[in-house]
Structure 1
Amino acid sequence: MIPVHSTTLPVAAPPRAEPDEQPLCAPTFTIVTSCKDDAQTIEDCLTSVASQTFGSFEHVVIDRHSRDDSMERIYARRDRLSIVYGNAADSHFQAWNRGIGHASGDVIGFLDARDALADPDVLMRVANAFEDPTVSAVYGDILCVDQRDVCQVRRRCHLGPISPTRRARGWVPPTQALFVRKAWYRGIDGFAPHMRFAADYAASLRLFSQPSFKAVYIGEPVIRQRSAPLALGRMLDLLKAPRDEVQALREARLGGWHAWVRHRVYKLEGWVGA
């Protein structure tokens, strides 16, 4: 059995807000998590969602035939989850598409099995921003945390508000920090299956290219993101990702390789200055 390095999130799970304490015109949320052999971290992920003070949400977990004891840990919480059994050959993004298909909430957020929501009030803050019916998406900052302990924050990535200039450089908020109304994801048919390494980036470029798509930056952390170990498979994926990212930029009419280089330089400057 794989040793489990599970940690306790910094804030104890408070009771969920009563309906009259929640924002007026509050949306319902679906949090989608794709899992494959994530027994070491899945409990932190599940706890962070279950402890939200905002009451109107569901958590859809797609297991892609895990070979460790991830399913045991997920099944132990089946009373709080919707469990979807994916295919072993499914990519991360195909699993997310399954999540969109099963979502009953008005707003969808994607949370990796390695990560956790930043604190118990994340969904409440996001719901407040969605009180404006013209808002299509809400996003916030990322807390980069230790691989073994989500309480240990290494740095905070301040994403900042999007602007026409930033988008022209190919910048969009990372999907994991983004909450989008379900109708928008369904309107673009989710994540393109032919883009195995950058389907999330391509989807966000398509969303943010829509004239009526309005995103709000709340300026608060929404996710605790573990740094991923540089295993051989991940290194190979990182080498293959630029091809898909260039294709996404071309489809968004933002250019090709030259645009990709500008985007990478701009992204690096943002991370260094965060």
Structure 2
Amino acid sequence: MRRWRAGDYHPKRLARGWMPPHPTLYLRRSVIEHWGGFDTDFRIAADYDAMLRYLARGRLRLAYIPAVLVRMRLGGASNRSLSHILRKSREDYRALRRHDVGGLGTLAWKNLSKLSQFWRHE
């Protein structure tokens, strides 16, 4: 089980692999109308690509709500198998490069930063 609280957003955090929890990222309709929805060329990381587009390109301001709004079950498409994990990593890297957020270092930080979420129980 992973436990994670996103914390306050700052644009520089994106380059360190930070991503807001997608089930609780609420946006105005005008943001999606202007910047577009999910790009279905991304089979697993369409949410990550969209969030990078909104935050890196759209330069949105976010407000952090320090409360648990969603509890998710374990599992999902991104970690169902080794092939899915590798595909997700390739898609994450493509999204990072596409939006000029980072490269391999950012991808590494994105994945390594999750490790502490497995044993840090607040």
Q: Which amino acid aligns with 1:251?
A: R
* 1:257 aligned residue: 104
Matches within 5 A, 1:118-267: 156-209=3-56, 210-211=58-59, 213-228=60-75, 234-235=80-81, 236-267=83-114
Question: Cα gap change, 1:270/1:156 in structure 2, threshold over 3 Å: closer, same or farther?
Answer: closer
Contact 1:198 1:244 in 2 (8 A): yes
> Where in structure 1 do 4 or more consecutive aligned residues deviate above 4 Å?
none
Q: Which amino acid aligns with 1:164?
A: P
Question: Cα gap change, 1:182/1:264 in structure 2, threshold over 3 Å: closer, same or farther?
Answer: same
Q: Determine which structure has the larger helix proportion and give its number.
A: 2
Q: Determine which structure has the larger strand proportion and give its number.
A: 1
Question: Cα gap change, 1:252/1:272 in structure 2, threshold over 3 Å: closer, same or farther?
Answer: farther
Contact 2:40 2:46 in 1 (8 A): yes
Q: Which amino acid aligns with 1:234?
A: R
Alpha-carbon offset, residue 208 of structure 1 = 1.0
Alpha-carbon offset, residue 221 of structure 1 = 0.9
Q: C-alpha separation between the residues in 1 aligned to 2:2 and 2:75?
A: 15
Question: Cα gap change, 1:262/1:216 in structure 2, threshold over 3 Å: closer, same or farther?
Answer: same
Alpha-carbon offset, residue 175 of structure 1 = 1.2
Alpha-carbon offset, residue 189 of structure 1 = 1.6
Which protein shows a greater Rg? 1
* 1:107 aligned residue: none
Question: Cα gap change, 1:155/1:251 in structure 2, threshold over 3 Å: closer, same or farther?
Answer: closer
RMSD, aligned α-carbons? 2.4
Render the CA deviation track for 1:95-150: whole Å, top value 9, x for unaligned. xxxxxxxxxxxxxxxxxxxxxxxxxxxxxxxxxxxxxxxxxxxxxxxxxxxxxxxx
Highest relative contact order (Cα 8 Å, sep 6+), 1 or 2? Answer: 2
Contact 1:170 1:260 in 2 (8 A): yes
Question: Cα gap change, 1:271/1:248 in structure 2, threshold over 3 Å: closer, same or farther?
Answer: farther
* 1:125 aligned residue: none
Moved more, 169-178 or 245-254: 169-178
Question: Cα gap change, 1:191/1:169 in structure 2, threshold over 3 Å: closer, same or farther?
Answer: same
Alpha-carbon offset, residue 178 of structure 1 = 1.3
Q: C-alpha separation between the residues in 2 aligned to 1:257 and 1:155?
A: 24
